[in-house]
Amino acid sequence: MALHVPRGLIMLCIAALALSGCGSPPPSPFAGATAWTGARIWTGEDEGYLEDATLIVREGKVLALHRGDVPDDVEIRDVSGHYLIPGLINAHGHVGMARGLETGPTIHSRENVEAQLRLYARYGITTVISLGDEPPEAFAVRDTQVAEQPGMARLFLAGEVLDPPDAASARSKVEALMRMNPDWVKIRVDDHLGTEEKMAPDVYGAVIDASHEFERPLASHMVTLEDAKGLLRAGTNLIAHSVRDAPVDNEMIELMREGDICITPTLTREVSTFVYAERPAFFDDPFFIKAADPEVLEALQEPDMQARFTGRAANYYRAALPLAKANMLTLHEAGVRVAMGTDSGPPARFQGYFEHMEMAMMQEAGMTPLEILISATQNAADCSGVGDAVGTLAPGKWADFLLLDADPMDDIRHLRRLAGIALAGHLQPFDDMPHATEHD
Ligand SMILES: [Zn+2]
């Protein structure tokens, strides 16, 4: 690196020479930092790219976005030609509940949780909010993640999805869950197309009140407009799926705006209920195949397996998908914050890749690439309560960022032109990231 002393400093030294000597310049405010230079940087705020800016990172965190000459006492990482954006955040995923197509306690392990977090990270999903039903091992992973060098997606989680039999037992259920120190509480209000009993309003009201008593936000799984509105009136902090039985109405829009409540549309969740009835087109996408387990793909093409994606539920959710998309757009246009969320993690909801599919569907539905990027960074972080740590490249937040070879503002699918993923400023090339199957 050529020694480069700013002219002003030389003049100052000449003036000060008689007093003190000027052998070496004083350390700059960026001493010991790393400077990521040459990229077009989008910080995650509402405006577009910063030109001629340098991202300064120290101790894993953003120190500054700097314009002008870079001091000599920093390490330069020239990433010219790339687009540099904040790491993506999935505000509704799941970890450790499945391995391949298997579920249940026999597949629960710390290694599986960690492999899935590395898989998310490989695809540029640097933070995951896992909304329930994780194995206990997932809490151990969260509690021992090294913030400065996680090597895998940062994890926040909800634990057991609560389903108390009555309002009177709600508080003790929530209290028991608190021993795990969950980041969220999760409930389901769903009769599974009339096959099960649905949680009653007095019960979910009691769970929501108890969660708030323990200062935890609560996320609600629901299907219908009436349940969404009931949950909003009762104080839910997140609507965890799109409304799938009716167009959202003004009352719902007002309830969401009044409480500043976000929604995770999980459009790919609907896709996963029917798409394997035939061989899906994305089985030929190199970006998908790169990390997919060939055995799982083979199993999903067996005729017996394909038949499982043709029943009543598959038909319902296939038919509901256009409405889910339209409702997402209506809420978004009404000023409700959409937080990118997929419900990936259960069998055949491919972590990492489904987030890219979700964002492509958001674009098809009519959101602009910039709006989708905000949804997957700033909104996903703020809506999940982790906006102080991640979501934008503001000073003080973790330096979790992506390097892209094409402009995602032109087309959100350019996020697939992923060159590198940085967690706390540690860059890993996309091709070097471990696969999902690489665990024992
Ligand atoms: Zn879910």
Note the pLDDT tens digit of each residue in 194-226: 999 999 999 999 999 999 999 999 999 999 999
Q: Is residue 374 part of a domain?
A: yes
CA of 325 to the centre of ligand 1 (A): 17
Residue 8: pLDDT over 70: no
CA of 237 to the centre of ligand 1 (A): 15
Decide the pairing of beta strands 426-429 and 238-239: unpaired
Our count of domains for the chain comes to 1
Q: Is residue 285 part of a domain?
A: yes
CA of 281 to the centre of ligand 1 (A): 24
Backbone angles phi, psi at 139, to 5 degrees: -65, -40
CA distance 312 to 184: 32
CA distance 401 to 363: 22
CA of 4 to the centre of ligand 1 (A): 54
Residue located via tokens 């996680």? 150
CA of 133 to the centre of ligand 1 (A): 9
Looking at residue 436, its pLDDT comes to: 60
CA of 345 to the centre of ligand 1 (A): 8
pLDDT band for position 130 (50/70/90)? Answer: very high
Looking at residue 86, its pLDDT comes to: 98
pLDDT band for position 437 (50/70/90)? Answer: low
Residue 147: pLDDT over 90: no
Residue 364: pLDDT over 50: yes
Cα angle for residues 284, 371, 285 (degrees, 5° grid): 5
Please state the rounded mean pLDDT for residues 97-115: 96
CA of 128 to the centre of ligand 1 (A): 12
CA of 333 to the centre of ligand 1 (A): 24
Q: Is residue 323 part of a domain?
A: yes
Looking at residue 435, its pLDDT comes to: 67
Q: Is residue 305 part of a domain?
A: yes
pLDDT band for position 134 (50/70/90)? Answer: very high
CA of 131 to the centre of ligand 1 (A): 6
Q: Is residue 64 part of a domain?
A: no
CA distance 173 to 163: 8
Q: Is residue 364 part of a domain?
A: yes
CA of 323 to the centre of ligand 1 (A): 19
Looking at residue 146, its pLDDT comes to: 82
pLDDT tens digits along 370-386: 999 999 999 999 999 99
Query: How does the average pLDDT of the chain come out, rounded?
Result: 93
Which of 165-169, 288-292, 399-403 is least confident? 288-292
Looking at residue 318, its pLDDT comes to: 96
Please state the rounded mean pLDDT for residues 337-355: 98
Looking at residue 19, its pLDDT comes to: 47
pLDDT tens digits along 14-72: 444 444 445 678 999 999 999 999 999 999 987 889 989 999 999 999 999 999 899 99
CA of 267 to the centre of ligand 1 (A): 12
Contact 402, 421 (CB under 8 A): yes
CA of 352 to the centre of ligand 1 (A): 15
CA of 188 to the centre of ligand 1 (A): 9
Q: Is residue 69 part of a domain?
A: no
Please state the rounded mean pLDDT for residues 356-374: 98
CA of 155 to the centre of ligand 1 (A): 15
Q: Is residue 234 part of a domain?
A: yes
CA distance 416 to 393: 20
CA of 149 to the centre of ligand 1 (A): 27
CA of 425 to the centre of ligand 1 (A): 30
Looking at residue 133, its pLDDT comes to: 95
Residue type, 432: D
CA of 73 to the centre of ligand 1 (A): 47
CA of 94 to the centre of ligand 1 (A): 6
- Print the domain residue range for 169: 87-392
CA of 399 to the centre of ligand 1 (A): 27
Looking at residue 132, its pLDDT comes to: 97
* Residue 246, domain CATH: 3.20.20.140
Please state the rounded mean pLDDT for residues 127-152: 92
Please state the rounded mean pLDDT for residues 219-247: 98
CA distances in angstroms from 336 to 75, 216, 328, listed in the order given:
42, 21, 9
**pLDDT-above-70 percentage for the chain:** 93
pLDDT band for position 9 (50/70/90)? Answer: very low
CA of 296 to the centre of ligand 1 (A): 21
Helices (H), 145-249: 170-177, 201-213, 225-234
CA of 186 to the centre of ligand 1 (A): 9
CA of 93 to the centre of ligand 1 (A): 6
